[in-house]
Structure 1
Amino acid sequence: MRRASAPLASLGLGLALVAGSALPASAHNAVVSTTPEEGETLTEVPEFFVVTTNEAMLDVGGEGAGFAIQVTDGSGLFYGDGCVDVGGPSMSTPAALGEAGDYTMAFQYVSADGHTLSDTLEFRYEPAAGAEASAGAPVPPTCGEEPAAASGGEDPATGDESAAVLGTVAVIGGVIVLLAVGAGVAVWLARRRRG
C-alpha cells in the first residue's frame, strides 16, 4: 500500500504544480505613491493630483472609463474639472483647491487584472495669505462641462433668458392656433354657403 500511495502522491503534487503554473497571475495593482500623500499638509496647489500604482493600469479604449479622482473640502464641495489622464501606472487630474482646511481625495482606477479599485486619503491645505482660491461645486465635475455654481442656484441672467424664450414660444404657438382656427372657420363658412 505504501509503495502505491507514494507514486500517486507524487503524481498529484506534480499535477498541482503544473496546473498552478499555467494559471495567469491575478494580483491587483497596488498604490505606490500619491500627490498629495496621506496626511500631508500642502502650502501650495500642485500642478496635478496623481495616483501611481506598481504596474500599468488597464485603460480599455484609452478613454479613461472607470477612472476618477475627486477632491472635496470639509463642506463637501468638489474641486477640479473631472478630467483624468491615464498613462501607464499613473493617473492624474489638474489640481484645484479652495480655502485653507481639510480635504479628501477619493480615487478609482482599473487594475491590470480588470478589477476596479478605489480608495481615499486625507490631506490639509494651508496656503500663504492672499493665495487665490478656486470655487467649489456642489456636485462632482464632469470632464468637458462647466462646473455647477457653489450656490446650486440658477444664474439670474440664464433664468431671465429662459423665461423670455418660453414667452416667445407661447406667443408664437398662440398665433398659430388662432390662424388654424380662423382658417377652419373660413372653410366651414364657405362650404355652408355653397351647400
Structure 2
Amino acid sequence: MSTLNSLSVEDLGSAAQRDRRKRILDATYELAREGGFDAVQMRAVADKAEVALGTLYRYFPSKIHLLVSALAREFERSQKSIATMDAVPGDTAAERVIFVMKRTTRGLQGDPRLTEALTRAFMFADASVATEIHTVGMLLTSMLTQAMRPGAEEPTAEDVAIARVIGDVWLSALVAWVTGRSTAAETGAHLETAVGLLLRD
C-alpha cells in the first residue's frame, strides 16, 4: 500500500509550486461540479490544470488524495469565512456549533455534485490517505471548538473529544445525504439532535 501523501501548501517552497497546486485543486473543483466523482479523472485534471500527468501525481498520488485535499480546502474556506464574523451567533455552545454546521452544510448542499465527489472520496479513503484525512478532521475540530468557546486560547481535552464526535456525525450525515438515504432537512435535524445531546448546558 502506498504511503505517499499529497503535497500541502507548507511543503511547497516557491510561489510557482503553490500556484500549480491551486490550479490543480481549481481544476478538480470544476470537474467535480460538472460531473461529480466519476468526472474527476487524473488525466482530465492534469489537462485542465495545464500540468503534466507526472507532475500531478507528484502533488497528489491518487484521485482519492486529490479529492480529500479538496475537501480540506473547502473546510479551510468555511473556517476563514466564519473567522471574519464579529461573533458566531448563539447564546450557548450548542447554538453556536449548530450555526457553524448549518452554514457549512448549506454551502456544501448548494453544490451537490461537488459535495458528492468530495464525500465519496472521504468514504473510499484508506490508510494511505491518513494524512489528508487527519487534516480534514483537524479543520473540523478547530471550527467546532472555536464555536464552542469563542476567544479561548486553547480548547480543553473534553472540548476536542466532543468536537471530534460531532465531526464524525457531521460527515456521516453528509454521506447519508449524498447517497440519498436522507433529505437536506433530515440531515439538519440529525445534526441538531447530536449537538443538543453532546452540548447540554
TM-score by length of 1: 0.22
Structure with more of its chain in strand, by fraction = 1
Q: Rg bigger for which structure?
A: 1
Structure with more of its chain in helix, by fraction = 2
